[in-house]
């Protein structure tokens, strides 16, 4: 599996292992074949008619009960996520609670107005539009948020009358299986089906579903976008980032250093919103030293320990890829300010790493590493910092640290990312606000909040004219 939760060739049997203790096999799952995917989608289509025919109040009630069921099983999901994907305890607990909130939010959204009444041309007829479900939603999700990302796709899909067939990343299959079990009794047969699998399973799902929502790597997302376009189905793809944090001299440098360190290194940097580039504007003396100290203060170790901020990366290939990227930068003249090595013999642990004296156009500054690695770049002024920040193919999120409101307003307009955050870390997403990037970071309509209705529904227009009888 690739670092961003992409798809690789099928092996026939999926093994879930702990990245902190790779010898520990949690479970094995047979990979879902293309024929089984077709059968699952056919069953989903049969279930969708009944689900869409339920009153919106009933769908809302079931989503509310789903939220309660996830809340009841929160402890179990937290423990399983810690072991299977190596997510630190505090972050995993927060993620599960976010999943509960997402289900509750869309339980309410199911009761939102679903159309518009329009003036008729003849003054006697009725003319209105409604948003109606698309059908079977194919959901392809990564391992790094094994509860929240599936739920922020699943919840609006179901709220608006669709059903879902879901393929999680292989490395998060055990969490996915348990989440499916928790939701099954509440939602009913056929409303949600989880299909363990890898590349073949994902490809088959894209070929069968009525719409596809994907989160993962840019490479895989691009192929899904192309396949969806060939079938003329809606596709939504969130594909990572190379996120910049700009620090101006008038910022609270100690506070900024603490937030940047946590955003870059927390969960071993394995978030699409993690800070990858730190752009320090001239005059910010002392910031880099403060950042190094903040990184060194982060606890690295067992993700089950409440004090841990940085656990393992997800796999041996992710670890070796990150170490190689740092070494390549070093050979090209960059300087490792802190970290840069594997930190434990057992498990896929890497020291949180800052790399300085690196060129903005270098591989390390242009491509997503998905590990606890960030570069430190220098800019003479804000204009140059913005140019550097925008100088990548990704455009997910950027952050600016300053006490100058005018600078913040000007920069926020010019930073070419889907999200701009001022005096706040790049990481962190509000589930009730639109989420998604530009360029190689995103394709299609945005996720989350009220925006989700536009992806999971289509518009149907009705005209009802009088029959003319009795006139």
**Cα–Cα nearest to 264, from 361, 381, 351, 143:** 351
Q: Within a 10 A sphere around the Cβ of 126, how many other Cβ atoms?
A: 12
For CA atoms 387, 388, 389, 391, give the dihedral sign: positive
Alpha carbon of 384 to those of 62, 246, 248, 261, 458: distances in Å?
Answer: 52, 11, 12, 23, 43
This prediction has a pTM of 0.94
Q: How many whole angstroms separate alpha carbon 354 and alpha carbon 277?
A: 9
Q: How many whole angstroms separate alpha carbon 17 and alpha carbon 81?
A: 11
Instruction: For the chain, give the percent of residues with pLDDT over 90.
Output: 93
Please give the pLDDT value at position 468. 67
130 in helix, strand or coil?
strand
**Cα–Cα nearest to 63, from 124, 96, 16, 111:** 111
Tell me the backbone φ, ψ of residue 466, rounded to 5 degrees.
-60, 145
Please give the pLDDT value at position 12. 82
- Is residue 464 within 8 Å of residue 125, measured between CB atoms? yes
Instruction: Spell out the per-residue pLDDT of the chain, length 471, in tens.
Output: 333 333 333 448 899 999 999 998 999 999 999 999 999 999 999 999 999 999 999 999 999 999 999 999 999 999 999 999 999 999 999 999 999 999 999 999 999 999 999 999 999 999 999 999 999 999 999 999 999 999 999 999 999 999 999 999 999 999 999 999 999 989 999 999 999 999 999 999 999 999 999 999 999 999 999 999 999 999 999 999 999 999 999 999 999 999 999 999 999 999 999 999 999 999 988 999 999 999 999 999 999 999 999 999 999 999 999 999 999 999 999 999 999 999 888 999 999 999 999 999 999 999 999 999 999 999 999 999 999 999 999 999 999 999 999 999 999 999 999 999 999 999 988 999 999 999 999 999 999 999 999 999 999 999 999 986 645
Alpha carbon of 43 to those of 37, 40, 50, 201, 365: distances in Å?
Answer: 10, 5, 12, 16, 46
Q: How many whole angstroms separate alpha carbon 310 and alpha carbon 109?
A: 36
Q: Within a 10 A sphere around the Cβ of 39, how many other Cβ atoms?
A: 14
Written as six digits, the tokens of 231 are 């079938």
Tell me the backbone φ, ψ of residue 118, rounded to 5 degrees.
-120, 150
Residues that are catalytic: 238, 272
Please give the pLDDT value at position 24. 87
Alpha carbon of 456 to those of 110, 159, 166, 196: distances in Å?
Answer: 12, 9, 15, 23
pLDDT tens for each residue of 173-188: 999 999 999 999 899 9
Q: Which residues contact 232 (CB under 8 A, 6 or more apart)?
A: none
Domains observed in the chain: 13-239+441-462 (3.40.605.10), 243-422 (3.40.309.10)
Please give the pLDDT value at position 285. 86
| DSSP strand pairing (211-215 vs 136-141) | parallel
């Amino acid at each position: 599996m690739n670092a961003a939760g992409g798809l690789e060739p099928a092996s026939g049997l999926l093994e879930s292992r702990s990245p902190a203790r790779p010898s520990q096999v949690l479970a094995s799952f047979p990979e879902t074949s293309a024929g089984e995917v077709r059968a699952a989608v056919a069953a989903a289509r049969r279930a969708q008619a009944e689900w869409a025919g339920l009153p919106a109040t009933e769908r809302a009630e079931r989503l509310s009960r789903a939220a309660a069921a996830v809340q009841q099983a929160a402890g179990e999901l937290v423990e399983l996520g810690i072991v299977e994907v190596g997510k630190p305890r505090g972050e995993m607990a927060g993620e599960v609670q976010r999943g509960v909130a997402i289900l509750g939010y869309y339980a309410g959204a199911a009761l939102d107005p679903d159309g518009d009444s329009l003036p008729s041309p003849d003054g006697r007829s009725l003319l209105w539009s409604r948003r109606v479900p698309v059908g079977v939603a194919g959901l392809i999700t990564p391992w790094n948020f094994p509860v929240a990302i599936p739920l922020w796709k699943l919840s609006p899909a179901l709220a608006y009358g669709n059903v879902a067939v879901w393929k999680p990343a292989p490395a998060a299959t055990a969490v996915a299986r348990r989440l499916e079990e928790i939701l099954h009794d509440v939602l009913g047969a056929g409303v949600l089906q989880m299909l363990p699998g890898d590349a073949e399973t994902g490809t088959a799902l894209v070929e069968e579903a009525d719409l596809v929502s994907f989160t993962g790597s840019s490479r895989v997302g691009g192929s899904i976008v192309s396949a969806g376009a060939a079938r003329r189905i809606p596709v939504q793809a969130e594909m990572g980032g190379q996120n910049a944090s700009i620090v101006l001299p008038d910022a609270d440098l100690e506070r900024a250093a603490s937030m940047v360190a946590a955003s870059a290194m927390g969960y071993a940097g394995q978030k699409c919103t993690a800070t990858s580039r730190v752009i320090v504007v001239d005059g910010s003396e002392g910031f880099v030293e403060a950042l190094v100290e903040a990184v060194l203060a982060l606890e690295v170790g067992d993700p089950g320990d409440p004090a841990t901020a940085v656990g393992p990366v997800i796999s041996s290939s992710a670890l070796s890829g990150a170490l190689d990227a740092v070494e390549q930068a070093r050979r090209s003249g960059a300087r490792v300010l802190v970290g840069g090595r594997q930190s434990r013999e057992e498990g896929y642990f890497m020291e949180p790493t800052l790399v300085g004296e690196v060129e903005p156009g270098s591989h390390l500054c242009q491509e997503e590493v998905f590990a606890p690695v960030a570069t430190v770049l220098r800019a003479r002024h804000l204009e140059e910092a913005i140019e550097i920040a925008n100088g990548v193919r990704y455009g997910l999120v950027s952050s600016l640290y300053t006490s100058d409101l005018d600078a913040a307003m000007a920069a926020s307009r010019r930073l070419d990312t889907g999200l701009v955050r001022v005096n706040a870390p790049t990481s962190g997403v509000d589930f009730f606000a639109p989420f998604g990037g530009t360029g190689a970071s995103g394709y299609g309509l945005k996720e989350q909040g009220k925006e989700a209705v536009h992806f999971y529904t289509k518009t149907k227009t009705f005209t009802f004219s009088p029959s003319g009888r009795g006139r």
